[in-house]
Structure 1
Amino acid sequence: MRGRTDKRFCSSRCRNLFNNKRKAGNRLLIRQINNALLRNLEILSALLAAEYHGIRLDRQQLAEKGFDFRYSTASRFSQRGNYYCFIYEYAYRILPDETIILLRCLRIPESI
């Protein structure tokens, strides 16, 4: 290597490759989560495309479409104590019988 005595990389290309690989680990997880959220959003928006208020469906139906229940953008308890998960402007609630109530919200309320 030529140049300064404390030089760590042989060229700018090597330095960029090293730093990109080092940062890729953190970004990969973020990218995977964002992709899952976007996939969930697409599924919910397709299901509620024709409905204004909301629909009811089986949890299995949503899972078969590729919905990932591990990721949501927010969650809230309603005033009645019901737990809702949000994917951006869509909210869903899983009932004890594995039925899902799916709603569209204009904003995420402080309480439902």
Structure 2
Amino acid sequence: MKCKICSNRIVGRKDKIFCSVRCKNYYHVNLRKATAMVVKELDIILHRNRSILLEIMGKKKTQCKVARVVLEKKKFRFKYHTHQNINSKGKTYHYLYDFAWMEFSNDEILIVKQPLVLKKK
């Protein structure tokens, strides 16, 4: 068997994939770096989308309808959300953390703010 990083011969257990702790650490550090770069870009988009919804809703409202054009002008990116749910009427709610939005019609978007519930440890 050869090391996944340096191609040196591996001595020891049959299921080992690295020849040393150094190669193992190198692999995992670089794997985390690559993941962090992608996640950072997505987090920026998600947080920007949430900020746009918060700006439109304000802090007091729990829901409102807004023209799709308003979101488009603010550069809201519709395909980015944290999760989604389909209600009993077949409408899809797209969530951004504590906000949800749904296409109410072709021109209107319904925005709903969910109360943020944090679990205690």
**Normalising by the residue count of structure 2, what TM-score does the alignment of the two structures yield?**
0.64
Q: Aligned partners of 1:40, 1:107: CA distance in 2, in Å?
A: 17
Match of 1:64 in 2: 73
The CA RMSD over aligned residues, in Å, is: 2.6
Gaps of 5+ in 2: 1-7, 9-25
Question: Is 1:98 aligned to 2:102, yes or no?
Answer: no
Q: Letter of the aligned partner of 2:95 in structure 1?
A: F
Higher relative contact order (CA 8 A, sep 6+): 1
How far apart, in 1, do the equivalents of 2:57 and 2:31 lie?
A: 41
Seq. identity, %: 18
Partner letter of residue 48 of structure 1?
M
Show the counterpart of 2:92: 83
Aligned partner of 1:47 in structure 2 is 56
Letter in 2 for 1:83: T
Q: Closer, same or farther in 2 for the Cα pair 1:25/1:50, shift >3 Å?
A: closer
* One-letter identity of the residue aligned with 2:64: I
Partner of 1:30: 39
Output the CA distance in 1 between the equivalents of 2:30 and 2:84.
34
Corresponding residue pairs, total: 94
Deviations 1:25-82 (A, max 9, x none): 3322111100001101111111111542311111121021121112111100112221
Q: Runs ≥4 in structure 1, deviation > 6 angstroms?
A: 19-22
TM-score, normalising length from structure 1? 0.69
Listed one character per residue, the Cα deviations across residues 56-109 of structure 1 (whole Å, up to 9, x for unaligned) are 11112102112111211110011222111011111110134231011111259x
